[in-house]
Amino acid sequence: MKKVLVVVDMQNDFIDGALGTKEAQAIVGNVIEKIKSYPPEAVYATMDTHFADYLSTQEGRRLPVEHCISGSDGWLIRKEVYELLDHGTICIKNAFGSLALPEALKKNEDLEEVELVGLCTDICVVSNALIIKAALPEVKVSVDASCCAGVTPAKHLAALETMRSCQVEITGEEPLKLSVICDSVSGNTKQAGEWIAEGMRRAGAEAKCFKIGEIDADFVKQSCGVVLGSPVYSALMTADMRSWLQTGARELGLAGKLGGAFATAQYTHGGTELVIQSLLETELVYGMLVYSAGNSEGHPVIHIGPVGINGNRESFNGMENYKEYFGLYGERFARKAYGLFR
């Protein structure tokens, strides 16, 4: 066979058992469709397998959650997946990677490509992809990202990046998700946030702008970058924004995400930079990677974040004058996110 599929650890414990995740449950349908696209004899599978001594093993001491204990329900491959497999090609393994798997694959003398799918991207998928790459250096190795899930969405992305560095071809990747979250009473800041999101989309990301109180928490959690915005009230962010940062924001898993900030105000000298600085400081407290292009992107220089001024009696009055800056900031932010996370 020229092309084969390896289905890694699609076992109940990794889907909705001891180590299950929402993301793992979400890929089951994709994995089933993928298996159906191959002849049954071209599909290999692995099964993580532990025993009663698991907690005293090296792995168990570092991950003290009993899982895939031989013979348990959690150890079984998800029924709908198992029914599609040729049972002679299942490799049992008690480590992340299987050394038996490349040996089985080598029996295909005309093998040109191995595609991997399954769980978890950042542990067993990456381990097996790299073992196959080492054992069969002239065989193309690919991973379909839409059929894999990581321990966390961020670790999934990081593992894809590592595999790409090792010349594993990554397919089926969704665009990066980016979120803009702001307070807005009379609509200026929301408008600015929408312009930022438009700029992010121009750079290839899937981007959404939310007002606090109307947030799609799942989308934000899956986002690798979040830009926060607030109107300026008495040279501060609004009380509602501050309050949300100390409550709702804590539930969104912001650590490790790229963070940016913007503000709108009535006056050029009304306090926008104080608000941006304060938002960026809060992002640091949450462990975010704080973004500023500074002056590195040339003109227009947006420094620490874009501002929109709506009530000046001077020039540059009116939010529309700032549309281009917000959009450009969104594009720059998204390009930086792609550089870091892809």
Ligand X SMILES: Cc1cc2nc3c(=O)[nH]c(=O)nc-3n(C[C@H](O)[C@H](O)[C@H](O)COP(=O)(O)O)c2cc1C
Nearer to ligand X, 187 or 204 (CB): 187
By CB under 6 A, what part of segment 257-276 binds ligand X?
A: 264-267, 270-271
Instruction: Find the shortest distance in angstroms from Cβ 93 to ligand X.
Output: 55
Phi–psi pair at 252, nearest 5 degrees: -100, 5
Scanning 59-67, 151-159, 182-190, 320-328 for contacts with ligand X by CB under 6 A, the matching segment is 182-190
Instruction: Find the shortest distance in angstroms from Cβ 252 to ligand X.
Output: 21
Scanning 49-57, 75-83, 101-109, 178-186 for contacts with ligand X by CB under 6 A, the matching segment is 178-186
The closest alpha carbon to 334, from 206, 240, 159, belongs to: 206
Q: Sheet with 3-8: list strands edge to edge.
A: 90-93, 43-48, 3-8, 113-119, 140-149, 169-171
- Under the criterion CB under 6 A, does residue 278 sit at the interface with ligand X? no
- Pattern 282-311, binding to ligand X, x per CB under 6 A? ----------------------------x-
E strands within 31-183? 43-48, 90-93, 113-119, 140-149, 169-171, 177-182
- Under the criterion CB under 6 A, does residue 149 sit at the interface with ligand X? no
- Under the criterion CB under 6 A, does residue 187 sit at the interface with ligand X? yes
Single out the residue of 95, 235, 289, 340 in contact with ligand X (rule: CB under 6 A): 235
Instruction: Find the shortest distance in angstroms from Cβ 326 to ligand X.
Output: 13
The closest alpha carbon to 143, from 118, 115, 113, belongs to: 115
d(C-alpha 28, C-alpha 48), whole Å: 17
Scanning 112-120, 138-146, 185-193, 323-331 for contacts with ligand X by CB under 6 A, the matching segment is 185-193
Beta-bridge partners for 209: 180
d(C-alpha 266, C-alpha 49), whole Å: 63
The closest alpha carbon to 5, from 156, 96, 141, 181, belongs to: 141
Nearest residue to ligand X by CB is: 270
Single out the residue of 98, 189, 278, 282 in contact with ligand X (rule: CB under 6 A): 189
Contact residues toward ligand X (CB under 6 A) are 184-190, 231-235, 264-267, 270-271, 310
